[in-house]
Amino acid sequence: MGMAVKSTSRGGQSAPPPMDDLEFTRWVRLLEARTGVTVPPERKPFLVTGLRRRMRETGHSDYATYYEELLDGARGAVEWAALVDHLTVHETHFFRHPPSLELIRKEWYPKWAAAVGVEQSVHALSVGCSTGEEAYTLAMVLDAAISDEGSQRHFGITATDVSQPALSMARAAHYPVSRLEEIPAPRRARSVEMLEDGNFRIVDRLRKRVGFACVNLLHASRAPLRQLDLIYCQNVLIYFARERRGELLDGLARLLRPHGMLVLGPGEVTGWTHPQLVRIGGRQTLAFLRQPKETRA
Ligand SMILES: C[S@@+](CC[C@H](N)C(=O)[O-])C[C@H]1O[C@@H](n2cnc3c(N)ncnc32)[C@H](O)[C@@H]1O
């Protein structure tokens, strides 16, 4: 879902000048060091547009002054949080990658449930959840899998992102009616309620199962996240340098319980392996299962 463009420009400021290569490199390094997101030269217009938009809002016309202010203690940290929202891509959809969702419901969940028994609850993580559609999709899919099983199993989902504005929208769980058709018809009645303004909201029963937190994927393995049965990370790694993706995945793998599954987007990483994880699913998906027992190398 796209972020709204705010127009709170202080008057009288001239627009920032074109950005030279030296300045571009400085901003790329800052963004990469703090979020891990890498901006190749062909994405320069995206970075410059986001930066200039935020600088207009805050009344800055000079990149260097703005840069210095961002590094300036608590005030800089608050402004950094706002800027990150302008420099990250938030596009998302409900039920964005059906083959991965089928894998969860039809293949992984029944085997996981048989392996762990009826008492254990299921905990999932949506990494880079943007405005919440992915997390609520997982809630709908787990809800369906539990109903297929005919059980009352408890489930919970933690959903994380670096963008505070995206997380606020996610917590509100309120979406325009144009997004309704993304949700398969059989799931709608149990999952959403229509509002008087014609838009819709995720029903409380599912909303209560999802908790949102501002967590940088770079620090996810150090965040106070519980051990998990399902980690869903799609359309996030692609913004990180290829050589960095493996170490991020190693961090996520450490959070998986035995029989847990890590689901990525197809093609988002190549050649990554982990001693406790094995590939599962077909060619349309990219998923790894945590082995029940530690295997020795
Ligand atoms: C393109 S959206 C993908 C949303 C969702 N996963 C999906 O596939 O529909 C990418 C999200 O990753 C978030 N993101 C970018 N860098 C991040 C980081 N270092 N830690 C956590 N989230 C990050 C962005 O804020 C954005 O909301």
Q: Please, which residues bridge with residue 287 across strands?
A: 263, 280
- Please compute the mean of the pLDDT values over residues 3-20 and round it to a whole number: 53
Per residue in 188-242, pLDDT tens? 999 999 999 999 999 999 999 999 999 999 888 777 777 999 999 999 999 998 8
Query: Is there a contact between 206 and 140 (Cβ–Cβ < 8 Å)?
Result: yes
The residue to mutate among 236, 244, 264, 285, having the most atoms of ligand 1 within 8 angstroms of its beta carbon, is: 236
Q: How close is the Cα of 158 to the center of ligand 1, in Å?
A: 14
For the chain, domains (ranges, CATH) are: 21-87 (1.10.155.10), 98-290 (3.40.50.150)
- Please compute the mean of the pLDDT values over residues 10-28 and round it to a whole number: 78
Tokens found for residue 292: 């029940």
Q: How close is the Cα of 150 to the center of ligand 1, in Å?
A: 34
| Total length of the chain | 297
Q: Please, which residues bridge with residue 279 across strands?
A: 288
Q: How close is the Cα of 117 to the center of ligand 1, in Å?
A: 33
User: Which of 204, 206, 207, 264 has the alpha carbon at shortest distance from 230?
Assistant: 264
Query: Is there a contact between 122 and 142 (Cβ–Cβ < 8 Å)?
Result: yes
Per residue in 38-79, pLDDT tens? 999 999 999 999 999 999 999 999 999 999 999 998 989 999
Judge if the beta carbon of residue 100 lies within 6 A of ligand 1: no
Ligand 1 atom 27 nearest Cα: 130
Q: How close is the Cα of 242 to the center of ligand 1, in Å?
A: 16
User: Which of 103, 30, 117 has the alpha carbon at shortest distance from 292?
Assistant: 117
Which atom of ligand 1 is least distant from the CA of 35? 19
Judge if the beta carbon of residue 85 lies within 6 A of ligand 1: no
Q: What is the pLDDT of residue 13?
A: 55
Which atom of ligand 1 is least distant from the CA of 218? 19
Tokens found for residue 261: 């599954």
Tokens found for residue 171: 């917590």
State if pTM tops 0.85: yes
Residue that has been written with the tokens 């996240």 in this structure: 225
Pairing of strands 155-161, 122-127: parallel
Q: Please, which residues bridge with residue 240 across strands?
A: 37
Measured CA to CA, the distance from residue 71 to residue 52 in angstroms comes to: 18
DSSP line for the chain: -PPPPP--PPTTPPPPPPPPHHHHHHHHHHHHHHH-B---GGGHHHHHHHHHHHHHHHT---HHHHHHHHTSHHHHHHHHHHHHHHHS-----TT--HHHHHIIIIIIHHHHHHHH-SS--EEEEEES-TTTHHHHHHHHHHHHHHHHHT----EEEEEEES-HHHHHHHHHTEE-GGGGGGS-HHHHHHHEEE-TTS-EEE-HHHHTTEEEEE--GGGGGGS-PPPEEEEEE-SSGGGB-HHHHHHHHHHHHTTEEEEEEEEE-TTS-SS---TTEEEES-TT-EEEEE-SS----
User: Which of 210, 233, 234 has the alpha carbon at shortest distance from 143?
Assistant: 210
Q: How close is the Cα of 128 to the center of ligand 1, in Å?
A: 3
Tokens found for residue 263: 């689901």
Q: How close is the Cα of 116 to the center of ligand 1, in Å?
A: 31
Judge if the beta carbon of residue 217 lies within 6 A of ligand 1: yes
Task: Tell whether the model's pLDDT for residue 2 goes beyond 90.
Answer: no
Judge if the beta carbon of residue 88 lies within 6 A of ligand 1: yes
Q: How close is the Cα of 147 to the center of ligand 1, in Å?
A: 30
Q: What is the pLDDT of residue 1?
A: 37
Q: What is the pLDDT of residue 293?
A: 72
